[in-house]
């Protein structure tokens, strides 16, 4: 089957492409580096020819709710409309656990994405997953050295590859609407994850834990980003991921 992967050059997208290829499916990567712009729609119709399923893991880095809503709303609309024109039978979108409970700007964009998919012209599945193990490194990448400003947050992190495998399984199955939330095997504190990552990589940074103000901070330090019910769980712990990453020189 021919499957399009929006954001197929990113962290999770690369794993999705690998999983699809290993399963014998033809993949089409929708990314600007491949001549496809989800926001302007450039190259989208040509790339979507004969595509039967779409897995949308596209992303942008912003804390602005306005920018996130604009990106995810426009990209989703273009992707769904192109899918309808191409005869796509299943649209799968990756979302985040807790976006309806944590008032964070970026999450407003993900909520808009979910709304677009649910009201769109293509049969759909939305998977909410918790943060990836790689989230700790992303926190470091976003802070100027030698500091590392890390929000106080409880999460149940999962291996990105396990998320990719689950997305592929969903895409190859019939559409089911909102899928059960996907999370990792155990709850972690993000600040602690960052400290452990620095130790594993023999790096020094001054970690500054930050609690976001108001209801947003309360939700992040509480259960706001943890799954609310039963559902599939990953098997690789953050500690195991750290060991594997260190062995690979990551």
Domains of the chain by residue range: 2-247
Query: Which tokens sit at 38?
Result: 């989800």
pLDDT at residue 150 greater than cutoff 60 = yes
Q: For 87-144, how does the pLDDT look when each residue is reduced to its tens digit (9 = 90+)?
A: 999 999 999 999 999 988 899 999 999 999 999 999 999 999 999 999 999 889 888 8
Q: For 17-48, how does the pLDDT look when each residue is reduced to its tens digit (9 = 90+)?
A: 999 999 999 999 999 999 999 999 999 999 99
HSE-CB at 155 with a 13 A cutoff on CA atoms is: 26
Q: Report the distance separating Cα 167 and Cα 173, nearest Å.
A: 10
Torsion of CA 174, 180, 184, 188, to 10 degrees: 150
Are the CB atoms for 119 and 91 separated by under 8 Å? no
Are the CB atoms for 63 and 103 separated by under 8 Å? no
Q: Report the distance separating Cα 209 and Cα 205, nearest Å.
A: 12
Sign of the alpha-carbon torsion through 141, 135, 133, 111: negative
Task: Look up tokens 């009201």; give the residue.
Answer: 119
Q: Which CATH class is domain 2-247?
A: alpha beta
Model-level pTM? 0.94
Note the pLDDT of residue 229: 85
- Model confidence band, residue 250 (pLDDT cutoffs 50, 70, 90): low
CA 58 and chain centroid, separation: 8
């Amino acid at each position: 089957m021919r499957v399009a992967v929006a954001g197929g050059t990113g962290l999770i997208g690369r794993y999705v492409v690998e999983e699809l290829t290993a399963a014998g499916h033809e993949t089409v990567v929708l990314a600007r580096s491949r001549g496809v712009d989800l926001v302007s729609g450039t190259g989208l119709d040509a790339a979507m020819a004969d595509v039967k399923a779409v897995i949308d893991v596209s992303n942008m880095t912003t804390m602005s709710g306005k920018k996130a809503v604009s990106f995810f709303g426009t990209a989703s609309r273009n992707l769904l409309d192109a899918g309808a024109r191409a005869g796509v039978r299943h649209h799968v979108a990756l979302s985040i656990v807790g976006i309806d409970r944590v008032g964070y700007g970026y999450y407003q964009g993900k909520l808009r994405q979910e709304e677009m998919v649910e009201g769109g012209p293509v049969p759909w599945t939305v998977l909410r997953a918790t943060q990836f193990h790689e989230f700790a490194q992303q926190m470091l990448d976003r802070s100027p050295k030698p500091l590392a400003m890390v929000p106080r947050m409880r999460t149940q992190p999962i291996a990105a590859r396990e998320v990719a495998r689950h997305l592929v399984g969903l895409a190859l199955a019939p559409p089911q609407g909102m899928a059960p939330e996907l999370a990792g095997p155990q709850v972690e504190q993000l600040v602690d994850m960052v400290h452990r990552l620095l130790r594993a990589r023999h790096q020094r940074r001054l970690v500054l834990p930050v609690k976001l103000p108001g209801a947003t901070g309360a939700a992040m330090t509480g259960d706001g980003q943890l799954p609310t019910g039963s559902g599939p769980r990953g098997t690789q712990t953050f500690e195991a991921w750290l060991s594997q990453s260190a062995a690979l020189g990551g």
